[in-house]
Amino acid sequence: MRAITQIHVSQTPASMLPFRFCPGCGAADPELTGAHQVRCSTCGFQYFHNAAAAATAIIEHQGRVLLVRRARDPAKGLLDLPGGFVGHDESLDTALVRELREELSIKVHPDDLTYLGSHHNRYPYDAVTYFLCDSYFVLRLSTTDGLRADDDVSAIEWWDQATLPWEEISFPTITWALDRFFAAGG
């Protein structure tokens, strides 16, 4: 059995922002005033680079888990779990229901999801590294009828714990969630 993955963050979110000018007044080099805060000494504009929420599913069917191949960067071609960002007007579970419909063409109800846990993550996109709070849910399927790769998923693959290609996992938090899932008895 694999040891549960530990993830460490070495840089603060604000130190990784590409701000060279204040979004409020255009003054050069706004200052970092905290781990998550940028402040302009000219106009007083403050920006808090807080974590964005994401919801993800570990889908299990007959002892195997569903992993998807990412169709886009970051980590294009690597294995991931289905899910995505939570919209401004969504809860974690309703966002995940929407993402599963978009990515896998399946309809599930929020009551079908069992919460597994959450972990911090980094998501580099363009010139910004987004800091996330990834939430993980388990969905157990009685049938795989109707599942298909769609949206930003290039392929669907089923794996059991013994044959899962861990080196192809896209992000450390996916490994963390799978480790936690399997440690709990899958």
Whole-number CA gyration radius for the chain: 19
Same domain, 72 and 32: no
Same domain, 59 and 38: no
Closest CA to 63 of 176, 178, 158, 166: 158
Same domain, 103 and 29: no
What pLDDT tens digit does each residue of the chain (186 aa) get? 455 555 555 555 656 667 788 889 999 888 877 777 888 989 999 988 889 999 999 999 999 999 999 999 889 999 999 999 999 999 999 999 999 999 999 999 999 999 999 999 888 888 777 889 999 999 999 999 999 999 999 999 999 999 999 999 999 999 999 999 999 988
119 assigned to some structural domain: yes
pLDDT for 35 equals 75
Closest CA to 58 of 4, 98, 100, 105: 100
Same domain, 31 and 99: no
5 assigned to some structural domain: no
14 assigned to some structural domain: no
95: helix, strand or coil:
helix
Q: Specify the residue for token string 């290039």.
A: 154
- The parent domain of residue 102 ranges over 52-183
Number of folded domains that form the chain: 2
